[in-house]
Amino acid sequence: MLKINEANISEKLIKLIGKKKHTRFTVLPVEGINKSYYKNPFRFSEILKISFLFSKRIFLEDHIHLEKSNIFSDIIIVEKNLSEWFKKQIKDKEFIAEIIEAENVFELFIESMKLISSPKRDFSNSETSISKDSLIHKNVQIGNNVHIGPNTVIYPNVVIYDNVYIGSNVTIHSNTVIGADGFGYTNNITKIPQEGGVVIKDFVEIGACSCIDRATIGYTYIGENTKIDNLVQIGHNVKIGKDCRIAGKSGIAGSARIYNNSIIAAMSGVKDGIKIGPNSILAGASMATKNIPPEMTFAGNPARPFNQYFKELAKRS
In a domain, 233, yes or no: yes
Q: Which of 65, 147, 173, 236 is catalytic?
A: 236
Q: Both 94 and 192 in a single domain?
A: no
Q: What is the CATH classification number for the domain harbouring 224?
A: 2.160.10.10
Are residue 36 and residue 171 in the same domain, yes or no?
A: no
Same domain assignment for residues 160 and 65: no
For residue 22, the model assigns a pLDDT of 78
236 is catalytic: yes
| CA neighbor of 37 nearest in space, from 238, 220, 256, 260 | 220
Count of domains observed in the chain: 2
Question: Would you say residue 121 lies in a domain?
Answer: no
Q: Are residues 167 and 281 in the same domain?
A: yes
Q: Please indicate, yes or no, whether residues 11 and 57 belong to a single structural domain of this protein.
A: yes
Q: What is the pLDDT along the chain (317 residues), one digit of tens a residue?
A: 899 999 999 999 999 988 667 789 999 999 999 999 999 999 999 999 999 999 999 999 999 999 999 999 999 999 999 999 999 999 888 778 999 999 999 999 999 999 999 877 788 888 899 999 999 999 999 999 999 999 999 999 999 999 999 999 999 999 999 999 999 999 999 999 999 999 999 999 999 999 999 999 999 999 999 999 999 999 999 999 999 999 999 999 999 999 999 999 999 999 999 999 999 999 999 999 999 999 999 999 999 999 999 888 888 87
Q: Residues for the chain: how many in total? A: 317
Closest of 190, 192, 185, 240 to residue 216, by C-alpha: 192
Query: How close are the terminal C-alpha atoms of the chain, in Å?
Result: 55
Q: Which among 116, 138, 169 is the end of a domain?
A: 116
If asked whether residues 177 and 104 sit together in one domain, one would say no
Q: Is residue 270 part of a domain?
A: yes
Residue 80 domain boundaries: 7-116
Beta bridge partners of 124: none
Domain C-terminal end among 69, 86, 116: 116
Domain-ending residue, one of 116, 146, 163: 116
User: Looking at residue 126, what is its pLDDT?
Assistant: 85
Q: Is 317 part of a structural domain of the chain?
A: no
Instruction: Check whether residue 222 and residue 295 sit in a common domain.
Output: yes
The answer as to whether 244 is a domain residue is: yes
What's residue 218's pLDDT? 97
pLDDT at 20: 67
